[in-house]
A and B are shown apart, each in its own frame.
Chain A
């Protein structure tokens, strides 16, 4: 029992791993210091989800976040970015909802090239969760384009990439400079 008490969640942060599993698959994984039902809650309640999906460091504003988490239910996220003041929408449909272990949804903003995302929450020792997010693209080309930039989500990722590459006050300036 005493041993248990020592296993306080360590302040050390866990490592995020990204792997291109095959020409159509991209996998992101990370250990989260909370049991699956808590992590699942953070992924399925809109008020919680919007607090972490758009990290403050990205410089994006989330305009709206609607998650109808049930099989066939629709989600829609709208962001604003200095380079896209009119807003950018991510949307799709939940294909599987299995609390607290599994979520599957489509990504429809890129039309037929959208990937299907599967997130699994696996219980681990010490009340932790192994989170695995698996993106399966309809074709190798779709992932190639997705990992580069075209419309919708890809564009967003590209902008996120730029922001991540150079966070700070000069982001807006550099974007303005590029579009001028």
Chain B
């Protein structure tokens, strides 16, 4: 479970590195769409869009379902949340540390000013 989150994160980061794919996620966040519609929206060939959707699908960020001749794409929302959550929590940990560090360095600065004055 834990391992798979890590592996997924990797695939997700790769998937998110491309602006078109981020755009597709944004688009699917508003509504499900077929590959044809996505290709039109992003002015791409069907083949090009299929590749992008494939990467997103592998990362678990998107799921697709073929009904008849139409492949509909929708968000795999849950996984995107994991991603954001992990990095944001890590950031919060460091943010909390640095806030405390700010306090410590302020004290050191005050001390240095006082010591400097004493020396004069």
> A17: shortest Cβ distance to chain B, in Å?
7
Q: A51-B104, A52-B97 are in contact. Are A164 and B2 (CB under 8 A)?
A: no
Give the dominant DSSP class at B's interface.
Answer: helix
Question: Known: A13-B99, A55-B99. Contact between A20 and B87, CB under 8 A?
Answer: yes
Q: Give the total number of A-B pairs whose CB atoms are below 8 A apart.
A: 104
Contact with B along A3-25 (1 / 0, CB 8 A): 00000010001101110100100
Given contacts A14-B98, A149-B2, A165-B89, contact A144 B10 (CB under 8 A): yes
If A38-B112, A144-B10 touch, does A160 touch B102 (CB 8 Å cutoff)?
no
Within 8 A of B (CB), among A117-176: 131, 133, 140-141, 143-145, 147-150, 157, 160-161, 164-165
Q: Are B96 and A57 in contact (CB under 8 A)?
A: yes
CB distance from A125 to the nearest CB of B (A): 16
A73 and B103 CA atoms in complex are apart in Å by 27
Which residue of B has the minimal Cβ distance to A30? B98
A39 within 8 A of partner (CB): yes
Partner pick for B105 among A42, A140, A149, CB 8 A cutoff:
A42
The listed residue (A53, A55, A148) touching B6 by CB distance below 8 A is A148
Q: Which residue of A lies closest to B105 (CB)?
A: A34
* Interface membership of A97, Cβ < 8 A: no
Q: B residues within 8 A CB of A145?
A: 2-3, 6
Question: Across the interface, which residues of B come within 8 angstroms of A13, CB to CB?
Answer: 99, 102
Once bound together, how far apart are the Cα atoms of A140 and B7, in whole Å? 9
B114 within 8 A of A: no
* A51-B100, A161-B89 known; A148 vs B94 contact (CB < 8 Å): no
B71 CB-CB contact with A under 8 Å: no
> What's the minimum C-beta distance from A160 to chain B, rounded to whole angstroms?
5
B109 close to chain A: CB less than 8 A: yes
Q: Which residues of A contact B91 (CB under 8 A)?
A: 16-18, 28
Task: Please give the residue numbers on chain B whose beta carbons come within 8 Å of chain A beta carbons, in ascending order.
Answer: 2-3, 5-7, 9-10, 13, 86-87, 89-106, 108-109, 112
Instruction: Give me 6 other A-B pairs in contact (C-beta within 8 A), A147-B6, A148-B3, A161-B90 excluded.
Output: A34-B108, A38-B108, A42-B105, A52-B98, A56-B100, A141-B6
Q: What are 19 A-B interface contacts by the 8 Å CB criterion?
A: A13-B102, A16-B95, A18-B91, A30-B95, A32-B102, A34-B109, A38-B105, A42-B101, A52-B98, A52-B100, A55-B96, A55-B99, A58-B93, A143-B6, A144-B6, A147-B6, A148-B2, A164-B89, A165-B89
